[in-house]
Structure 1
Amino acid sequence: MRIEYHRTLIADRVRNAAFERALATVIKPGKTIVADIGAGTGLLGLMAAKLGAREVYLYEVEEVASVAAKVLKANRARNCHLMPCHSMEMQDPPRVDVIVSETLGNYAFEENIIETLNDARQRFLNPGGVIIPRRITQAVAPVVAERLHKELCVWEETGFDLSVAQTMSLNNIYVRTLKPKDLLDGGESAKTWDAVDFSRHNASTRKGEVVWKLSEPATVYGFATWWTAQLAGDVELSTAPGAPATHWEQLYFPLLTPIEARAGETIGVSLRSRTSMEAGTHVAWAATHIDRKGRTARQALNLDKGFLP
């Protein structure tokens, strides 16, 4: 394990402040018992203890768990108890009033937060208990800035036919920082394609579809996605373009060929993902373009096609 990744979490002041505010809204000093699942080096657990939690159970695995143990000792956090395992491996876990889990990626569910919290809600949470985050919504918007498409089509500049490799490049998802101006209608076009409420059981397979009818001509090079987490109360954390910057960025889903669309025409995108502890994350996306004559063109891409055989 390299500590640098965890330093980026500690350096993310927007993230840390949001989770601290969320914990403050649900912790009753001297009464609330908290489970921090995916505790990392222990920051959120220490926050919960400082806010007055009666007991805090921190779940973390492998090398980072040993770092967390030393951090808790250094801070004399006697009411913080490290469980050096994944929460799903824990037999007869202590019941808690609050579950907090910051196991979120640039793609919200790539760290298996759905599977983890399905289990934790059933086995860890007292009746009437609270899960942080409470809800996550995923948004998508067409990208009209050419720069990302040009970056991925550098294969064409060689003077040779490297189209096979270029197609593989385009069947990938890219972590990039996007600005509202890079999106259709300055980002006002963004729509929700998926939502997860952690107070109930959720499927690890996610899918959604949205469409836009254009009011003016546009060239669409791909799609951008991001997420917004409702943590607790009115506390939110978002990775949207234009939101306060975090260590997370947006995701860019390329197209094989840019869509040249005229006013009155329709473009759409469907997204599917499947995540599991065993098989990792699999994502596919497809774009449609319906012209004024009702003719439909479709492009289908799949992250699995971006891997070398």
Structure 2
Amino acid sequence: MRIEYHRTLIADRVRNQAFHDALKRVIKPGETTVADIGAGTGLIGLMAAKLGAPEVLLYEAAEVAGVAAQTIKKNRARACHLMPCHSTEMEDPPRVDVVVSETLGNYAFEENIIDTLADAQLRHLKDGGVMIPARIRQFAVPVISDRIHRELTVWDEVGFCVDLSDAREMSLNNVYVRSFSPDELLAGGGAAKVWDTVTLGSDRKGTRKGEVSWKLDASETIYGIAYWWEADLAEGIMLSTAPNAPKTHWEQLYFPLRAPVRVEAGESLLVTLRSRSSEEAGTHLAWTAVLFDRDGASKARQAMDLDKGWIP
């Protein structure tokens, strides 16, 4: 069991406070029942109990459920009931007023929160109940710094008359967890656009696709695409992994381009992102960048795919 991973979650005060504030917003002490799906060590479920929820069901299928059981006992949380299974496996689950799930990754859907909360909407949540998070928006923006590109293309510099171009190609068909400063992004990050929005519970498609484009007023060289997400937890309470947001244990993602793209003033860059996530197959990502001239004609196209980044 990777207890160190759970320590990073517990140490994330921004995350913890946001979920606490969202629960406080929706829980009526003595009335509101809660299901914490993917409960981990039990922190969020215990928050709900301490905020007055008379019954809290904690669903956790991994080994960390044993830690959650000990934590519930040590805190004498009689309102908390551990369900050592995945919520989708529970037969005839009790319906609750609030479903909360912090099963988010650096890529928002890598822990299959869409499928999990679609099932929760159907079988765990009462009619008119509350889902936390309620909605997730995914953002993309061009990267104008060559910092990570230089890191990923070090294969070209090894020397000794050795050609490592195949390995270089695989490196550029991968996605990287990185942190960006605003000055590394187009318009200081202000050019970021939403390429996908998911309403959790009602949206049931684990396959996502979206496209965004930028028409540049001044010439820039684009090296890749930065990604982050925002989650609406409750009315007025949002959690974000953006570079200018309060720091969390999550970071941004970097989607490389195979070769830097010089976009002249008046030209446009179109980026298409695609993802497919499931419990059985994991997460697959692919992205395409197309450069258009001032008249709208395609000048160059690059297509990358995470599946091509793995060693066969």
| Structure 2 unaligned residues grouped into runs of 5+ | none
Q: Distance in 2 between matches of 1:81 and 1:200?
A: 27
Aligned to 1:304: 307
The match for 2:41 is 41
C-alpha distance in structure 2 between counterparts of 1:37 and 1:249, whole Å? 23
Cα deviations by residue, 1:6-40 (Å, 9 ceiling, x for unpaired): 00000000000000000000000000000000000
Where 1:20 maps in the other structure, the secondary structure is: helix
**Partner Cα separation in structure 2 for residue 292 and residue 79 of structure 1:** 63
Structure 1 equivalent of residue 188 of structure 2: 186
Instruction: Tell me the residue number matched to 2:210.
Output: 208
Partner of 1:17: 17
Aligned to 1:125: 125
Q: TM-score, normalised by structure 2?
A: 0.98
Give the equivalent residue in structure 2 for 1:260: 262
CA drift at 1:201: 3.0
Per-residue deviation at 1:199? 4.5
Distance, in Å, in 1 between the alignment partners of 2:196 and 2:170 is 26
Give deviations 1:53-102, integer Å, cap 9, x for gaps.
01000000131001100000000001100000000000110110000000
Q: Tell me by how many angstroms 1:125 deviates.
A: 0.5
- Please state how far the C-alpha of 1:202 moved relative to its aligned partner: 2.5
Output aligned runs, 1:1-309, within 5 Å. 1-159=1-159, 160-292=162-294, 294-309=297-312
Q: Supply the distance in 2 between the matched residues of 1:116 and 1:295 (Cα, whole angstroms).
A: 40
Give the AA of the match of 2:39: A
In structure 2, how many angstroms separate the alpha carbons of the residues matched to 1:198 and 1:165?
38
**Cα distance in structure 2, aligned partners of 1:214 and 1:50:** 51
1:245-283: CA deviation from partner (whole Å, max 9, x where unpaired): 000000000000000111000111000000001100000
Root-mean-square deviation (CA, aligned residues, Å) is: 0.8
Amino acid at match of 1:307: W
* Identity rate, percent: 66
Taking the aligned partners of 1:296 and 1:217, their CA distance within structure 2 comes to 15
Aligned residues: 309
**Which runs of 4 or more aligned residues in structure 1 lie more than 4 Å from their structure 2 counterparts after TM superposition?**
none
CA offsets 1:222-252 (integer angstroms, 9 cap, x no match):
0001000000111000000110000000000
Q: Normalization by structure 1: what TM-score?
A: 0.99
**Structure 1 stretches lacking a partner, 5+ long:** none
Q: What do residues 113-140 of structure 1 show as CA deviations (whole Å, max 9, x unaligned)?
A: 0000000000001011000001000000
SS at match of 1:116: helix
Query: Deviations for 1:171-204, whole angstroms, at most 9, x for unmatched residues?
Result: 0000001111110010111000000012413311
